Structure 1
Amino acid sequence: MMSKIVSNPMILPIIIGFTAGLVCRLLMLRTDYRQYPTYPHGRIIHIALGVIASLLGTVFVPSLLKQEYTAITFITLAAQQFRDVRNMERNTLNEIDKHELVPRGGTYIEGIAMVFEGRNYMVILTSLVSTFATVFFSWWGGIIAAVLIILLALKLKTGNNLHHIAEIVPANVVVDGRNLLVEDIYIMNVGSTDAQRQLSTHGMGFILVPKNDNAVVTLAHPGQRQAILHDASTILGVYTDEGEPSLTPLIKRDLKTGRLGVFLLPMSKDEDMAMKVLSSVPILESAIRMPKKAQAKKRDGG
């Protein structure tokens, strides 16, 4: 039995394709400050899904070469299953979000769910391409193809961050009577004297200046603003508790210029760290807007 398996000419392409897909998934899987996927059980779920995706991409090639076209049906069914994974992630994160002091928001959650679905498809593609390359160009072709597509996957893994579309400028927190401002941008009304004192003591302010018209519209998106608050509060901590509506990090927009006033309540007022955190906030795919391209099409008569 073992000799038949070893002598099978497809065994080497299958091993290389499966290994490439699994390595691709492991490299794209990490638990960071967002604490998702959780460790270890959340990781086990996603590694198991990565194994399934890698097997699907690998066995598709031998099935196709043997003219067993029903393999296409299995790939289609797998796509449906991975869409269910996206729904699972969305539901899980929505439940978790109910208990966050500073929630992620629906746009952020949808982005995370979409990423986990897309990465399974990337694993299938990695296994498929690596297996094909091994069949047609021997083992060295499969390894080269695997390395190239894994590098592509790692490049697609990271998108733009906040510093790509906006300048981040430290700003003063001003408590003017009952009005709380970051520089000249109004944040909220604070009636309690004790709350005014705490906001003045623990608050930090920043101004986000958009770099172009596209950035103005993207930063205006409520989901993107909520993502900024969530990431900053997760890493820096937040000086608040349930039932404290006055002690709330907020972002407000200057309607004339498109600038954003960011008011944070970190546990430790470290301006340099806060700048680094804000710079690394991801730009959500669902929040990206490009009105300049639409204007260019109109000018061209499109």
Structure 2
Amino acid sequence: MDTVFFVGLVIGISSRVIMLNLDKRQYPTQPNILMTQIVLAAVASALGALLVPALKDRSYTSITFLSLAAEQFRQVRENRRNTLQNLEDVQLVQRGEAFIEEIARTYEVRNYMCIITSFSTVGLHYLIISELKLSYNVALTISAVAGIMLALILKKMLQRESIGDVADVVPVEITFVDEFIMKVGDVKGITNVGLKSDRERYLSKGLGIEIIPKDKSYSNAGILMDPGQRQAILYNIYSRMGILREHNEPAFYPLPRRNAQKESLVLAYMPVEKDMDKLIEAVKSCPILSSAKGKNLSLKNTPIGKKGSA
């Protein structure tokens, strides 16, 4: 088979491997999941690479294979969604429906990235030979370099913002008022902790943080107030730092609460290792979900705290 096909195949798979580096901290990366993604990348890349010679030979029926591939990748998205949903009940901190949908959508989209890069690589190769009349090897080198550059461009385009881009995270103190009522920073009434041993555990091992929207922006605050985004933040902390709780210890389940004065979030968390710097980094690295964007757009130019604002 033509060498350019294998080059397009390698470029397509490489584009998926490049994106896998972004997944390690947010998505499962067990060996079987990794193998699944590489195999799917190979299938998608092969489809993209074979499409160009098929069209060149006027075999337009080959386009139907793309529709079948798209349907297959949608099924991959559904399977990934179902798998993660089935795991929710055994998680000490759940991902949440919004985060699961974001992960499933990401798996689908990145397979299309393989098709685009392999198709573009092979297509450019044929275009250079037919139009510029360059030698086969020169065209192969140029198309391979262009394919890698396209993969890097797509990686940049698909890379999502994180909480650190829209909010500052600062440590705050965990205290108890009226003996049982938890207070984190300036916000009290987080939860009622009845057992003295639980309160002592919070005071000795718990960490308190406040997530404050940057630029006093209601647009940034709207992202933080989205329920799906809040749950994603909790899971990102859990996936990085673990949590000191069992299923039968509801007092230690993290509960983010809104500070109405700053439109910020406060949170008391019980990590396995008490390290404030790692906790702040875990919050900042949480990806912003697509479903959390676009909130409070009518207040975009109204700073938080301005007289007459919400």
| TM-score, normalised relative to structure 2 | 0.87
CA RMSD, 1 decimal: 1.7
The 8 Å contact of residues 171 and 208 in structure 2, kept in 1 or not, is answered as yes
Q: Where in structure 2 are the equivalents of 1:9-158 lying within 5 Å?
A: 11-30=2-21, 32-34=24-26, 36-38=28-30, 40-137=31-128, 138-158=139-159
Show the counterpart of 2:223: 218
Query: CA shift at 1:293, angstroms?
Result: 6.5
Q: 2:262 aligns with which of 252, 257, 260?
A: 257
Distance 1:46 1:147 in 2: 19
Partners of 2:126 and 2:288 in 1: CA distance = 40
C-alpha distance in structure 2 between counterparts of 1:61 and 1:153, whole Å: 20
SS in 2 for 1:146: helix
Q: Percent identity of the aligned residues? A: 31
The answer on whether the counterparts of 1:16 and 1:134 sit within 8 Å (CA) in structure 2 is no
Corresponding residue SS for 1:167: strand
Matched residue, 1:248:
253
**Residue matched to 1:209:** 212
Question: In structure 2, what is the Cα distance between the partners aligned to 1:96 and 1:156?
Answer: 30
Instruction: Identify which range, 202-211 or 120-129, moves more after superposition.
Output: 202-211
Q: Deviations over 1:147-183 (max 9, x none)?
A: 2211113213421111110111110111111111111
How far apart, CA to CA, are the structure 1 residues paired with 2:26 and 2:56? 43
Instruction: Give SS of 1:70's match.
Output: helix
| Deviates most, 44-53 or 193-202 | 193-202
Q: How far 1:208 sits from its partner (Å)?
A: 0.8
Give the match for residue 300 of structure 1.
none
**Residue type of the partner of 1:32?**
K
Please identify, of 161-170 and 275-284, the stretch whose mean Cα deviation from structure 2 is larger. 275-284
The whole-number CA distance in structure 2 between the counterparts of 1:37 and 1:109 is 15
CA displacement 1:29-52 (0-9 Å, x = unmatched): 2462446132x2111111111111
Aligned to 1:299: none
The size of the alignment, in residue pairs, is 286
* Structure 1 unaligned regions, length at least 5: 6-10, 297-302
Contact 2:218–2:299 (CA<8 Å) still a contact in 1? no
**What one-letter code is carried by the residue in structure 1 that aligns with 2:194?**
G
SS in 1 for 2:103: helix
Give the superposition deviation at 1:77.
1.1
**1:195 aligns to 2:186 (yes or no):** no
Residue aligning to 2:237:
232
- Unpaired runs of at least 5, structure 2: 129-138, 302-310
Q: Distance in 1 between the 2:239 and 2:300 partners? A: 38
Q: Measured at CA, do residues 264 and 22 of structure 1 come closer, stay the same or move farther in structure 2, by a change above 3 Å? A: same
Q: Give distance in 1, aligned partners of 2:144 and 2:208.
A: 50
Deviations 1:243-278 (A, max 9, x none): 101111121112343110021111121112212222
